[in-house]
Amino acid sequence: MSSEDLNQLIADVEDQERRLVFPTFTETDAWALGRLLVDLATRRALPVALDIRRGTQQLFHAALPGATADNDTWIERKVRVVYRYAASSYLVGRRLAAKGRDLDASQGVDPARYAAHGGAFPIRVPGAGVIGVVTVSGLPQADDHALVVEAIETFLAPH
């Protein structure tokens, strides 16, 4: 990917994060968003694990056919990135890539515990900042990220 393409991708993801803000986020919202993610992934026969958290509480989790326990480990690592950097795991990774860097000890983190790979997206609420994370694991990172964004856009769309 050229640096121009990478910079455009970063700008696009930053725009997604500015736009995709929840007015509130309840257990009922987590259930509805989780079901939407399951429906999207099931219709496409995607081998993914899905996870939604508010703070440290896991509100929704599902593993679809083809997902493995390794996907749960990736979810944990991606979630830590969102909480540490208050940005999607994809955005953190792409920003580092633009600087020719990786998320590792030079950044003050253990790569066995943190993964700046796409798929974990912050749940933001006005006045509260990042209060949770929606995560998909099982696809290439751009596809994990795109599925989360599609679900959030659908969920937040006016009915």
The pLDDT value given to residue 90: 97
Per-residue pLDDT of the chain (159 residues; tens, 9 = 90+): 688 898 999 999 999 999 999 999 999 999 999 999 999 999 999 999 999 999 999 999 999 999 999 999 999 999 999 999 999 999 999 999 999 998 888 888 999 999 999 999 999 999 999 999 999 999 999 999 999 999 999 999 987
The pLDDT value given to residue 81: 97
Contact between 33 and 152 (Cβ < 8 Å): yes
The pLDDT value given to residue 1: 66
CA distance 17 to 31: 21
Q: Mention every residue, 6+ apart, whose C-beta is less than 8 A from residue 54.
A: 25, 27, 30, 123, 131, 132
The pLDDT value given to residue 4: 85
Residues written for the chain: 159
Q: Return the half-sphere exposure (C-beta side, CA atoms, 13 A cut-off) of residue 70.
A: 6
Residue with tokens 């099931």: 42
Q: Tell me the domains of the chain and their CATH numbers.
A: 3-156 (3.30.450.150)
pTM of the prediction? 0.95
